Structure formats: C-alpha cells, structure tokens
Chain A
Amino acid sequence: MASPSFDDLTSLPSQDEVLANEVLPELQARGVKVTDWITGGVLRSMAYVVAKLRATERIAVAAMCAAGWEDFAFGFSAAPNGMDVTGWAPLIAKQRYNVDRIEATYTKRNITLTNSTITAYGPLAAGAIMVAFPSGRRYISNETATIIASDATVVEFRSEFPFDSASGLAYNTDASGSTLGLITSSFPGVTATNPAPDYTSPVVQIGSGLGTLTLGTLPPSGPVDPDHSVVVTITGGGNRHTATWTTSLDGNAPEDQGAAGEVLDLDSTGIDIYLDNNGGSPAFVAGTKYYFQTPGTDITEAGRDAETPQELGTRCHGLWPSLAFPQDEQGNWIPTSPTMSAYEALTRSISSQIKVCLVETSATVNNQVDITISGDGSVVPTSVVAIVNAFYTSKSMMTDSVVVYSPDLRTVTLAGCTISVKAALMATAQASLTTSLSAYMSGVDASNLLPINGLIDRGYLNGLIRFTPGVTHIDDGLTLTTSAGTVVTDVQLPITPGAKELATLGTGFDSRTAFSWVAV
C-alpha cells in the first residue's frame, strides 16, 4: 500500500463526499440487507453519522499534518484547504526552539485621584479601585494606595484585561485628559482624572554621557504649548555651563544655545530645558542627542498584543542563522540582519556589484556602525555607496547610526617565487594560478575570505601556488610588496593606520610574469 501523499493527508472531504466515496460503496460491497433508505431510516442515519465522524477525523489528520510544517504553523504561508494551524505556533516554538510566546501585556497609566473630603481612604490594596474611560474600557489600581484627604493622589492603574486590539481592547488609544468614571463607589468625594504631563518622559537619549535634561521648573515659566517636538544636540562635550548645545524645535534648523546651563520658554512655547550633569564629568558628550515632545502622556507602559504567530516564527528563525537571513537568487545568504537587509532597497544590478562587506562599530562615535562595501578587488562607484547610505538612513534606526564607506585600494605585488611545473601543464597551471591568486586577494576565495583590513596570509598564498595542478615544487621566495616595503611575511592591512583597505593585485596581474617558471 502506497504511503499517502501530503495532498492526501491534507485534503478535507465533505460529509457528502465521504458518503459517496467511502461509506456507501463500503455498504454496497458488504451487501447490506437494508432496503429502506427513506429519511429517518436507521441505517441511513448511521451512514450519516459514520460519514460525519470520518470527515471530522480527516480534519484532525490534516491539521496535525499541516501543523508540522513551520511555514503553516507560523502563518508564513497559508495552510492547505483554508486550514488555520497557527494555533500550534506556541507549541512548536517551545518544542523546537525553546522560545516562549510573548503574551499580551497591560497598559499602565498614572491616574490622579482628587479627594475633596477631609477623610483619607486607605491603604487600599491593588485592584480596589476601578475607573472607566469614555470608551468603556476599564482600569484597576495596580498598587497599594492611600487617597489622601483634601488633595490629589497619583496612582498607577492597569488595564482591566491584557491588550487585545482584535477584540477592541486597544487600551493605548484612550486619550489623556479624558472624563473618567469611578466604578467603585465607596469613595465619596473622590474624582478621577488622567491629565497628560507637560513633557514626554523619560527623555530619549541617543549617544553616551551621564548628563540628562530636566524639563520644566517650579514654578514653570508659563503654560507649555502642546504638540511640539524638540531635539537637543550636544555640539561640544563638557559639563553644564561648558558643554555647547543646540535645540531644534519641530524639525526646524538647530538653534545654537552656546554653553548655557538652561533655556527657559524656548521660542515662546513655555518649554524649559535644564542641563543636569547627573554625576557625570564630563557629563555631556559631543554628538549625543536628546529627544522629547509636548505634551506627555499618562501612559507609563503601553500595552501590546500577544505575539502573532508570524512574529513568533520570525523570532524563532532568528535563532537559526540559515533561517534568519534571506537568500539571493543563487541561494547565497545575504550577510545582513533581517532589519538591515540592503537587498530590500538595492536593485539587483547594484547588489551584484557588492562582493565584500565589513561591518564594525565606530571607534569614535558610540552609536555609529561603519559598513564598508566593495567589489572584488575594486571599489564600487560612489553612486552605489550613496544609495546604500540612503537606504540605511531611511530605516530610521532607533539607536544605530549607520554610515557606509568605500575602502581604499591597497595594491600588493607578488613576486620572487620560483615554480617548477610539468611542461605539459605549464599554460594551464599559469592560468589557474592567476585566477586563484586574484580570487584570494580580491576577497572572494570561498575557502579563505580575505576581508577588508584583513591579514594577507603568505602561507596560504604559497599553498595556492604549490597545489596548483601541475606544480611539482616551489621555493620559499615569495615576496609581498606594498607601499610599506617588501616582506616575506604575512601583511596586515591597513597599511595606513585608521584606513579601510581592500587588497588588490593591481590591474594586469599575470602569474606568468610575476613568478619564475621552470618546466620539468
């Protein structure tokens, strides 16, 4: 009996199809004696029951079969016959990758409880107070709280249920400044509000340095206008009053603030900015940026939906490099992370020019990632570098600033080696050696990749020469010549300190003339 195919196992016959193709033929084959097939007949109803059981069982078989394939379970591809087996994703993620699904989280807010009476309430256990927003979504207190008398108390609340946007439980959309209803009625004289603070908190810092910004003053210089965004850029390192900085309001050109310790009422918006050393010295580092907006929000922690099967699958595959990275049309993995896939933006003609890539963190700028790209033994046109740069800029990465470079070419001249070769294979050996040496020096020898700023391995070069078909002997005279001189050792690039250098044999390299050949 042939094993059932995948299509066989995942097909979903209807009850009528099972009746027609399986149950009734079987009854007929067994010569059933019943002849009364009127509706309500016993054997007729039994045939329907059997067909229903069979059809249901086929659904189970198909689901188990399809769920074994991660593309279906993680929802990357639609399962056969309209089945949805993404409910198996958490099991597969745990079993195969030891990855737990990220469950939905609660939205948390600061809600102000104002008590107009002279009676304090509390301490109240978490969950003792419930409020409702105009949307109908409700929140419960998330910490032990005492509503003090004749004053306002800020209490952290969390959403009644975890975030579930598909079910309308999109708690993050409830606005600050809403009219809140107090569901728990045992606190006479208490009203609930959720005013938005003047500024977003915390201030987002991109770059290094302990220095922080303190926003607003007591008393503030005035009401803070809403709907502004501000970028503070440290242009010269130092402490408060010595560090120089600029402010950019709503994306406008930077405004030089010199070495001021604070700026009050920025551009008549009511925004007050103080530089705070926060124990650092120097506290502020050139290039660091600080971001904030007005107004802030009463949300202290935004809830999120449970991880979707696709998100979970992507996270699982991220643990397995051969699954995490996309492949090009030749089946080669593209050496970028899923979120930094240059291939997404580059045309095939451009991407095919890039053969060698060096990724390293900058030695001078904390959040900068330097990417150096080139062809094999040659630099790519500046237009290609510009396109790749533009691509990464468009990604608006949260923390990494990516800068794409083109390397400098470092010509290395090979000479000095005397090669004995079988006379009949002389021409073939010379052509082969020219090719293999060029490949290695260009960084595209799959057996020994020579990266940008790599170590040119003289021993490997000797090996390439010696094991060229037809070569019977070489001496140890191979020399490597760069602008730094001629050596008989490995050569570490870069020759120029701090540079990014790509090795090249230069145009017109030919092993026939580079080395001495002896026919044997």
Chain B
Amino acid sequence: MASLAADLPFDLGGDDPLNTVRDNFPRPVVNAGGADYGRDVAALDDLPDPEVLVSGDLNVAYAIARHWLQASDGLVEIGDETPYDSFDLRDYLGKRIVPGELRALEALAARCARQDPRVDTIAVTLSFLNGALSLTGRGVGSAGPFSLVLTVDGVTVQILQGA
C-alpha cells in the first residue's frame, strides 16, 4: 500500500517544478497511533456552503464516494492527467441492470475504491431500494476496518455511513 505521505500533496514525477511546490506544503499531522487520512472539503458532487472540512475515516469515505460519482474522464477534462478510475453511479439510476452487470458494476466500484492508496481491501455490494441505488463498501484501510454506504436517487446524493 502506498503511504499517505508519499502522495501529498501530489507528485508529478521526475524534476517537475510542481514537486518543489509540493515539498513546501505543510505535511499532514501523523498520529502516533496510526495513519493520517488527511483533511479535505466535504464534497460529493457539489461544494458545501459554507465550507465544511472532513478528516479521518470520513474523508476517505468521501474520497471513495467521489470515485463512484465522477465520469471516467472528469479529471482529464480539467487538466489532471493522473490516472484516476471512476464512474458515475447516477448513470445507472433508472436503468435495467441484469445480474451479470450487477456483479461487473460492483467489481468496478471496488477497483475504483482500491485506487485510493489508503484502502487495502474493499468489498462492494449494489442494491436498489425505495427508488435509490446504494453502494455499500466494507473494507480495511491502513487505519483498520471501515464501511460506507453511498446512495443516489433522482434528487440527492449522500453518504449514509462512513466510518
């Protein structure tokens, strides 16, 4: 598993001048008892107003959820060419999903989540209830076991659980 510190703030490789800037950034505080999951804005598909920051397990949950809510070329379009696996769960809302596709979608969600260096293993299940699609992830991160549930319906996207 890639260490958290190695990925902060971001590494463009080689002698890229951005790396110098990165090195000058304040590093996250590393807890004596385990890995630090960093701190970011609590955003899924929109920015909170006023700004709300999340950290710890919940920050990882948000990071994984964004893998599940972003078109595959979303970052490329804004100029970030770093490999980033993602899909938009909302694209599947209201669609007929046969069992084979269900398994494939769960596998895709797990693969996207594992791209986050803070995630060691994760198992994902997809369910549909009361007009909402839910992705439930249970896994182990560098700071221990965690789980999260992301639901999308025709109106909202929310994390029901992230810990």
Binding site for B on A (CB under 8 A): 15-17, 19-20, 24-25, 28, 33-45, 48-49, 51-52
Contacts and interface: CB of A to CB of B under 8 A. Distances in A.
Interface stretch (B35-43, B92-100, B132-140): B35-43
B116 interface: yes
A40 B79 contact: no
A43 B84 contact: no
B99 to A, nearest CB: 30
B39 A34 contact: yes
Interface residues of B, number: 42
Contact of B75 (A34, A35, A36, A39): A39
Contacts of A37: 7-10, 22, 25, 38
A41 to B, nearest CB: 5
Contacts of A42: 40-41, 43, 47, 66
Interface in B58-97: 59, 63, 66-67, 70, 75, 78-80, 82-84, 86
Contact of A40 (B9, B17, B36, B86): B86
B8 A36 contact: yes
Contact of B26 (A19, A35, A41): A35
A40 B63 contact: yes
B101 to A, nearest CB: 25
Contacts of B47: 42
A43 B63 CA distance: 12
A51 B79 contact: yes
A40 B67 contact: yes
B10 A28 contact: no
11 contacts: A15-B79, A36-B59, A37-B22, A39-B10, A40-B86, A41-B63, A44-B10, A48-B78, A48-B79, A49-B78, A51-B79
A116 B21 CA distance: 82
Contacts of B53: 33-34
A61 B70 CA distance: 32
A49 B75 CA distance: 9
B21 A34 contact: no
A19 B78 CA distance: 12
Nearest to A42: B41
Nearest to B7: A38
A44 B80 contact: yes
Contacts of A49: 78
Nearest to A52: B79
Contacts of A44: 9-10, 80
B131 interface: no
By secondary structure, the B interface counts as loop
A16 to B, nearest CB: 6
A49 B79 CA distance: 8
Nearest to B80: A48
Given A16-B12, A35-B8, A39-B82, A24 B18 contact: yes
A28 B67 contact: no
B103 interface: no
Interface of B: 7-10, 12, 16-18, 20-22, 24-29, 36-41, 43, 47, 53, 59, 63, 66-67, 70, 75, 78-80, 82-84, 86, 116-118
Query: A-B pairs with the 9 shortest C-beta distances?
Result: A37-B9, A36-B38, A36-B40, A35-B28, A42-B41, A24-B21, A39-B82, A35-B38, A15-B79
A24 B25 CA distance: 9
Contacts of A34: 38-41, 53
A45 B80 CA distance: 8
A19 B82 contact: no
B42 to A, nearest CB: 8
A52 B78 contact: yes
A42 B48 CA distance: 11
Nearest to A14: B79
B28 to A, nearest CB: 4
Nearest to A49: B78
A38 B22 contact: no
Contacts of A51: 79
A20 B17 contact: yes
Given A35-B38, A40-B84, A45-B78, 15 more contacts: A16-B12, A16-B18, A34-B53, A36-B40, A36-B63, A37-B22, A37-B25, A37-B38, A38-B116, A40-B67, A40-B86, A40-B116, A41-B63, A43-B40, A44-B80
A34 to B, nearest CB: 5
Contacts of B18: 16, 19-20, 24
B10 A38 contact: yes
Contacts of B83: 39
B37 A36 contact: yes
Nearest to B2: A38
B52 to A, nearest CB: 11
Contacts of A20: 17-18, 20-21
A480 to B, nearest CB: 80
A182 B26 CA distance: 75
B41 A38 contact: no
Contacts of B75: 39-40, 45, 48
A38 B28 contact: no
A49 B78 CA distance: 6
Contacts of B36: 35
A18 to B, nearest CB: 10
Q: Give the most central of A19, A35, A36, A42: most B CB within 10 Å.
A: A36
A45 B41 CA distance: 11
Contacts of A17: 17
Contact of A28 (B7, B12, B24, B39): B24
A41 B64 CA distance: 10
A16 B10 CA distance: 12
Q: Give the most central of A33, A34, A48, A51: most B CB within 10 Å.
A: A34
Contacts of A41: 40, 63
A24 B16 CA distance: 14
A314 B78 CA distance: 42
Contacts of A15: 79
Contacts of B20: 20
Contact of B66 (A19, A35, A40, A48): A40
